[in-house]
Amino acid sequence: MSDTTLVFSIEEFQSRLKNVQNELANRELSGMLVHTPENIFYLTGYQSPGYYMYQCLVIPASGDPVLVLRRGELSNVQTYSWLPEQQVRTYDDTNDPVVLTADTVKEMGIAPGKIGVETGSWFLPVRNYLKLETLLDGFRLTDAQGLVEAFRVIKSQAEIAYIREACAVADRSMQAGLDAIRAGVNEDEAAAAMFSAMILAGGEYLGMEPFISSGYRSGNMHSAWGHKVIGDGETLLLEVAGARNRYHGALMRSAYTGTPTDEIKRVTEVCISSLNAALEVIRPGVTAGEVDEACRGTIERAGLYEQFRKRTGYSIGVAFAPDWGEGHIMSLQRDDSRVLQPGMVFHIPPALRVPNRYGVGFSETILVTESGCEVLTKLPRELTLSQGVSL
């Protein structure tokens, strides 16, 4: 197969695999069973929306990995992955893929002992874990959750390039949504404008749907379009991501139909100030907790913490549904002592909500650089008014 069909060079994939195998050796693990779609993609390039069916990448501490997956997905391995066909084991829908996984481990000659599993993976249900434990007699399933993710948190230059493209898609989608907003328009129409712009800008299927909510619905977290007609004198909260080769960049903005009240003006100012405060402190060596303190502290001093009550931000990169973020890998949150390093990418979305009344939020996707941070999303950081005026 030609390198030109791959999202990354074979050398980059092999470097990632080597890093994982070195860590397996450091932990005295004879191998690892990887069930998480993002981690399988990161190590092999294989991708498909069909990950709702069982799949597992069997990684020995040394030697070649083998991918176990549904037979119908084999062509996607051939299209997207560097793995040759002899490193793939397929099952028919009438076969038991867990049995195939256990047989594969034994056929690969992985030495009995401790073998790592992702105990936090959404794609390793208890039933399959228990079956693997029974079938892999002589092996001890050992928690290796986060082993692969530890390497994903710092992005390569090639990964950052895809995130930049994703952020450009998010900008286009968000601008289309903001342009479509006016009193009397259904939320569905604004959502359709966002989807259309996203796809026409080169965006791919997302890890999570865009959010657009107006009026009282804007105060409720994760409100997608809801067939509501946008009224006059209402806040709107919009959040969208772009995706390129499974890498995501996200953006949140707010709008108002009519002349905003003093209350909306104030929460808008505080929200934007909290985001600016976070951006100002980001640099290598700063802890995740210090970034959160800058953002959250701004909100607390304004007396609005009850309208916030969440983390400041989260890592973003590779994603399949149900989420576009990597918050399970690293979050910007209270008292978190993890240190920021160049190459980390975060989505920072402070939002102030009063449930069933209103909500405003503003976010950016940012890259930690050698000396500070670069904002990758580019739209103005301001409340958009439906008359075409910005505050």
Region of residue 167 (left: phi > 0; alpha: psi -120 to 50; beta: else):
alpha
Q: Is residue 79 part of a domain?
A: yes
128 with 209, same domain: the answer is no
Residue 291 neighbours by CB distance under 10 Å: 27
163 with 148, same domain: the answer is no
pLDDT at 391: 46
Residue position matching structure tokens 């576009």:
324
Q: Are 67 and 57 in contact (CB under 8 A)?
A: yes
133 with 179, same domain: the answer is no
Q: Is residue 390 part of a domain?
A: no
367 with 294, same domain: the answer is yes
pLDDT at 387: 56
33 with 86, same domain: the answer is yes
Q: Please give the average per-residue pLDDT across 376-387, as a whole number.
A: 93
Q: Is 117's pLDDT higher than 60?
A: yes
345 falls in which pLDDT band (50, 70, 90)? very high
Last residue of a domain, one of 152, 175, 197: 152
Last residue of a domain, one of 131, 152, 173: 152
Count of domains for the chain = 2
Last residue of a domain, one of 152, 182, 216: 152
- CA–CA dist 181, 255 (Å, integer): 8
81 with 173, same domain: the answer is no
128 with 222, same domain: the answer is no
362-375, pLDDT tens digit by residue? 999 999 999 999 99
Q: Is residue 343 part of a domain?
A: yes
In the chain, what percentage of residues exceed pLDDT 90? 97
User: 334: domain CATH number?
Assistant: 3.90.230.10
Helix ranges restricted to H, 227-347? 262-281, 288-301
Q: Is residue 59 part of a domain?
A: yes
Q: Is 16's pLDDT higher than 50?
A: yes
172-220, pLDDT tens digit by residue? 999 999 999 999 999 999 999 999 999 999 999 999 999 999 999 999 9
105 with 182, same domain: the answer is no
246-283, pLDDT tens digit by residue? 999 999 999 999 999 999 999 999 999 999 999 999 99
- CA–CA dist 316, 43 (Å, integer): 17
Residue type, 312: T
- Determine phi and psi for 300, rounding to 5 degrees: -65, -45
Residue position matching structure tokens 């099952």:
91
Q: Is residue 11 part of a domain?
A: yes
145 with 171, same domain: the answer is no
Q: Which helix (H) or strand (E) holds 177?
A: helix 157-180
Residue 112: domain span: 3-152
Q: Is residue 104 part of a domain?
A: yes
132 with 174, same domain: the answer is no
User: 136: domain CATH number?
Assistant: 3.40.350.10
Region of residue 89 (left: phi > 0; alpha: psi -120 to 50; beta: else):
beta
132 with 167, same domain: the answer is no
141 with 230, same domain: the answer is no
Q: Is residue 391 part of a domain?
A: no
283-322, pLDDT tens digit by residue? 999 999 999 999 999 999 999 999 999 999 999 999 999 9
Q: Is 155's pLDDT higher than 70?
A: yes
Dump the DSSP string for 333-383. -TT--PBP-TT-EEEE--EEEETTTEEEE--EEEEE-SSSEEE---S-SSP
Dump the DSSP string for 13-75. HHHHHHHHHHHHHHTT-SEEEE--HHHHHHHH----GGGGS-EEEEEESSS--EEEEEGGGHH
Q: Is residue 89 part of a domain?
A: yes
